[in-house]
Amino acid sequence: MADSDNNGAREADFGYERVPWGEKKSRVRGVFDSVAPRYDLMNDVMSGGLHRLWKRFTLAKTGLRPGQRALDVAAGSGDLAAGLARQVGKSGRVVATDINAAMLAEGRDRLLNEGLVGNVEYVLADAENLPFPDGSFHCVTIGFGLRNVTDKDAALRSLYRVLKPGGRLLVLEFSRPRLGVLSPLYDTYSFQVLPRLGQLLAGDAESYRYLAESIRKHPDQDTLKTMMQSAGFERCEYFNLTAGIVAVHQGFRL
C-alpha cells in the first residue's frame, strides 16, 4: 500500500522502509537480481519444501483444459508456468512474464531443461501494465509476486483486463498467519533465521530481510479479497494454507 508524506510526495513500502514511489521497482529489481541464482534453493530451505505443495494446490484450481491460454505473472523460476504448460498441452499457450530479466532467464532455462518448449513464451513485463490485448487468457496466476508490486490496485486491474470472460485469477501469496502461541517462533524465524540463511546460502542477508518485511506489509486475506472485488473480480474467495502463512485468492471475470 502507498500514501503521501507530509510534503505530498508519494511513497511506497519497501519492506519496513518508506521509499519514493518511483524508486520501489528498481529496489525490488535489485533484490531479485541478487537472489536469482539461488532462488529455488532458498525457496526449499525457507519453506521446508512446502512451497511445492502450495503451488500444486494453486495449479489444481486453474480449471484449464488442453488448447487454452494461460498467463503466469512474476513467473520467477517457472514453477507455476511449468504446471500451466502441462495443463494446456502442446495445442495451448502459456506466457510467462516477470519484471526482472534475471529471474525470467532462470525460469526459461529451467523449463527448457525440463523439455517444455514450443508452447511457452517469455515476456519482460510489468504487472501494473501488461502488454497484452483485453481478454487474452483463460487463467492468470501470480505466485509470490503481488507483494513486491508498487501499485497493487493497478496490477489487479491489469490482471482483470487480460482475462477472458469466465476466466479466473489465482494469487498465491504469503499472508496473515493464524499461529496463536507459535507466532513468536514465526517472527524469530522470519527476522533472525531467514536473513542468516540468506547470508549463508546466497551471500545476501539484506535481500532476505526485505522479503520477510514485505510479507508483513502485504494486505491480509480479507483486505486483498476486497481489493480484488474493487478491481472488478467476482466470486472472490481465498484458501488459507499452512495456518494462513500462505493464502490462495481466486476471482473471476464474469
- Domain residue spans of the chain: 28-178+210-252
**pLDDT (0 to 100) of residue 7:** 47
Q: Which residue has the higher pLDDT, 35 or 124?
A: 124
Cell numbers linked to 172:
498465491
**pLDDT (0 to 100) of residue 6:** 45
Give the mean model confidence (pLDDT) for residues 172-192: 94
**pLDDT (0 to 100) of residue 3:** 55
* Euclidean distance between CA atoms 11 and 34, whole angstroms: 24
Q: Which residue has the higher pLDDT, 38 or 143?
A: 143
205: Cβ contacts below 8 Å, ≥ 6 apart: 195, 196, 198, 199
Q: Chain-wide mean pLDDT for the chain?
A: 93
CB 151 within 8 A of CB 117: no
**pLDDT (0 to 100) of residue 202:** 79
**Low-confidence winner among 46-60, 169-183, 193-207 (lowest mean pLDDT):** 193-207
CB 61 within 8 A of CB 248: yes
* Euclidean distance between CA atoms 251 and 156, whole angstroms: 11
The SS3 of residue 75 is coil
How would residue 41 be classed by pLDDT, with cut points 50, 70 and 90?
Answer: confident
The pLDDT tens digits for 4-33 are 454 458 999 999 999 999 999 999 999 998
CATH node for 28-178+210-252 = 3.40.50.150
> How many C-beta atoms lie closer than 10 Å to residue 102's C-beta?
16
CB 42 within 8 A of CB 76: no
Strand 2-4 relative to strand 10-14, pairing: antiparallel
Torsion of CA 65, 67, 70, 76, to 10 degrees: 100
63-94 b/e (C-beta count within 10 Å ≥ 16 → b): ebeeebbbbbbbbbbbbbbbbbbbbbeeebbb
